[in-house]
Amino acid sequence: MTPLHFSYHSAFIISIMGLSLHRTHLISTLLCLESMMLSLFIALTMWPTQLQIPSLMLTPMLMLSFSACEAGMGLSLLVASSRTHGSDQLQNLNLLQC
């Protein structure tokens, strides 16, 4: 592994840890999701660059467009939960709590 690969590997690990250990706000979770998508984009771009295969450059473009879909979906869920619960605090999302 080279230091360039280590950078996006560790960024992905830190982002997925931040996604699972978020504390108060839903939007912090969505931000960690976006940083995961960023590290995946960098990984998918380094792959055709190192192997010198031009046609694999389609994958980061496709991934970026679908991550835009996912970000829009997450933000609309944030807006909807902010409309029903008043804020995006995670302690308010307790319908399944016994």
Partner 1 sequence: MMYFAFLFGFCFVFWMVGVSCNPSPYYGVLSLVIGAAFGCGLLVSMGGSFVSVVLFLIYLGGMLVIFAYSSALVEEPYPAAWGNRGGMIYVVSYVLVIVGYGAMCYWLWSMEGYGSVTIDAGGLFVVRLDFSGVAWFYYFGSWLFLIAGWGLLLTLFVVMELVRGLSCGVLRPI
Binding interface with partner 1 (CB under 8 A) = 1-4, 6-11, 13-15, 17-19, 21, 23, 25, 27-28, 30-32, 34-35, 38-39, 41-42, 45-46, 48-50, 52-58, 60-62, 64-69, 71-73, 75-84, 87-88
User: ∠ CA(94), CA(24), CA(8), 5° rounding?
Assistant: 120
Q: What single letter denotes the amino acid at residue 69?
A: C
Distance CA 25, CA 4 (A): 32
C-beta of residue 70 within 8 angstroms of C-beta of residue 62: no
Nearer to partner 1, 95 or 98 (CB): 95
Nearer to partner 1, 72 or 91 (CB): 72
